[in-house]
């Protein structure tokens, strides 16, 4: 008999890195809960792809910045389902040099990454503690480790997420719950649409962008049984950048 895998919740799973992570976790046998904010059609397409490949998926549409919406959906769900893997992936960038950065650009980015982490993770932790098992994986960025021009808001948010990762790992280690962060360098997704691609490529020692599938493979490993002794770590995947 095959063991029933716990459910995996991935935020920002309608496209890019989050969609690749959802596919990878589904292939590993986790029924996946696909959170997204706005793009219904894309999210439905990811769900269909997962089901076509023999996996299970459910859509969970809410804005991770919205405390009440997240709690209303996640609290009852965490009672109903064994959610054993949480991937905090939803994130946005609103780049500008600091003197020209306006408050909405600061607030939007920090709220999505940091408040989003709190609103999603906090309701799911106690059920994991009771089960004495869990994996929390936070998608940070190399920008939160080494900084980046034009990304004071984004770097601050991702560095904050890294701090949260390290502290929560210490709190939960005795309960057999691991908490880690992945810090990707530039990855080919919609997020790079308006970025100065040639300039970025020159700065990457490997002279190429990473792929969503490469990030997803690392997340898949961190979510697996084999990674049970890794916690409180920030693992960069950045083609040598940083």
Residues that bind ligand NDP (CB under 6 A): 11-18, 35-39, 42, 63-65, 89-92, 112, 139, 141, 184, 186-187, 189-192
Tell me whether residue 75 or residue 188 sits nearer to ligand NDP (CB atom): 188
Least distance from ligand NDP to the Cβ atom of residue 21, Å: 9
- Output the smallest distance, CB 169 to ligand NDP, in A: 19
β-pair partners for 80: none
Tokens found for residue 83: 């959610």
If the CB atoms of residues 112 and 180 are measured against ligand NDP, the closer one turns out to be 112
Whether 154 is a known active-site residue: answer yes
Catalytic residue of the set 7, 106, 154, 209: 154
Q: Which is nearer to ligand NDP, 205 or 228 (CB)?
A: 205
CB of 45 to ligand NDP, least distance (A): 11
Closer of 133 and 221 to ligand NDP (Cβ): 221
Min. distance of Cβ 175 from ligand NDP in angstroms?
26
Where do we find the tokens 């869990």?
134
Active site residues: 154
């Amino acid at each position: 008999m095959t063991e029933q895998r716990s459910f995996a919740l991935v935020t920002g799973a309608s496209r890019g890195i989050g969609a690749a992570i959802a596919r990878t976790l589904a292939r590993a046998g986790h029924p996946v809960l696909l959170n997204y904010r706005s793009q219904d059609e894309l999210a439905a397409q990811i769900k269909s792809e997962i089901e076509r490949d023999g996996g299970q998926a459910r859509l969970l549409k809410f804005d991770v910045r919205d405390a009440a919406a997240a709690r209303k959906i996640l609290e009852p769900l965490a009672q109903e389902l064994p959610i054993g893997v949480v991937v905090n992936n939803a994130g946005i960038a609103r780049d500008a040099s600091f003197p020209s950065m306006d408050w909405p650009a600061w607030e939007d980015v920090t709220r999505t990454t940091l408040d989003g982490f709190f609103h999603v993770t906090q309701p799911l932790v106690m059920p994991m503690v009771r089960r004495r098992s869990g994996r929390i994986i936070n998608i940070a960025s190399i920008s939160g480790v080494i900084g980046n021009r034009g990304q004071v808001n984004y770097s601050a948010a991702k560095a904050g997420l890294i701090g949260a990762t390290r502290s929560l790992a210490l709190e939960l280690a005795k309960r057999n719950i691991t908490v880690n962060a992945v810090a990707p360098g530039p990855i080919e997704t919609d997020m790079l649409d308006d970025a100065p691609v040639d300039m970025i490529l020159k700065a990457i020692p490997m002279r190429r962008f990473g792929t969503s599938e490469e990030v997803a493979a690392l997340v898949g490993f961190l979510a697996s049984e084999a990674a049970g002794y890794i916690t409180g770590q920030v693992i960069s995947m950045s083609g040598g950048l940083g």
